[in-house]
Structures are given as C-alpha cells and as structure tokens.
Amino acid sequence: MTPSRNVSIMCFHDELCQVFNALMTALSLLRNGSRVTVFFGSRGVLAVHKEHVGNLACMPDMPEQGAAVMKRMDELDLPLVEDMFVMLAAEGAALLACPLNIPLFGMSPGDLVEGVKVADPARYYKDVVIQADMNLTF
C-alpha cells in the first residue's frame, strides 16, 4: 500500500483551466490516499466565490482557443468546477480561502462556495505548507 502523503495545493488564479487543473489534481491525489489541502489566494479567491464560480473563463485572452478547450471538455464529459468542489468537500479535502484577499475583491466569508473556509494564514503555512510532502501551485 502506498503511504499517505500530505499535499498542499495553492491556486492563485480564477482562470478556468488553472482552477480545473488544481481541483482535478487535488481530487486525484485525495482519491489515491493523500491528505489534501487546497488554498485559494490572490485572484484564486474569485474561483471560490459562489456567484463567480459558474462563470470562470478559459483562456479569456485567447477566446478562440478557450472555446476549443471548452468544447473538448464537454466532449470528454469532464466534471464542472462546482461539482469538483462538492466532491472534494465530501471526500475530506480541506478547502481554504485567503482572508487577506477576500475583502480586496469585495467579498465576505458568506460569499464562499459551500465547504470553503477562511484560512488562518500563520497556521496554514506552519501546519500545512511546511509539513507537506508536496506543495503544488496553480
């Protein structure tokens, strides 16, 4: 049996491809026995805003390529970001949002997707990042 790993994933973007990759990586690691914490900082807090999460854009600076990616994701019947948040929360991942960035984007803790909690940055870095076997950023 593969030993359990502690994994910290940091998402600093609200671009769909980056958020999707962070969440899919988290879900894959979680389902393979890792303890996973996903931290959303900087623009990443917008990805956990319950009114914004369903409107994330894929490659907004390259609309033609973004549309092609979206079409391919539909063809592959990949899960929606909103559904991945539900899966991650239900399967035991810790989902955290940066308290420093939430107010910068006019948000409050009540705006967060269900299952996402406001992080304590000092504790997050000490207890999660430093202790992690892997730290991944998106």
Q: Are 14 and 56 in contact (CB under 8 A)?
A: yes
Query: What local confidence, expressed as pLDDT, does residue 3 receive?
Result: 54
Which residues are CB-neighbours of 7 under 8 A, at least 6 positions away?
Answer: 26, 29, 34, 35, 36, 37, 132, 133, 134, 135, 136
Given 3-state DSSP classes, what are the helix, strand and coil percentages for the chain, each rounded to the nearest 5? 45, 20, 40
Residue 98 · residue 69 · CB < 8 Å: no
Domain ranges of the chain: 1-47+89-138
The 10s digit of each residue's pLDDT in 84-132 is: 999 999 999 999 999 999 999 999 999 999 999 999 988 999 999 999 9
Q: What is the pTM of this model?
A: 0.92
Q: What is the pLDDT of residue 60?
A: 84
Domain 1-47+89-138 has CATH 3.40.50.150: no
Residue 137 φ/ψ, nearest 5 degrees: -125, 145
* Pair of tokens at residue 90: 């239900």
What is the per-residue pLDDT across 13-66, written as a single tens digit (0 to 9) for each?
A: 999 999 999 999 999 999 999 999 999 999 999 999 999 999 999 998 898 998
> What would the mean pLDDT of 69-97 be, rounded to a whole number?
94
Q: How large is the angle between the packed helices 16-31 and 81-90, nearest 10 degrees?
A: 30
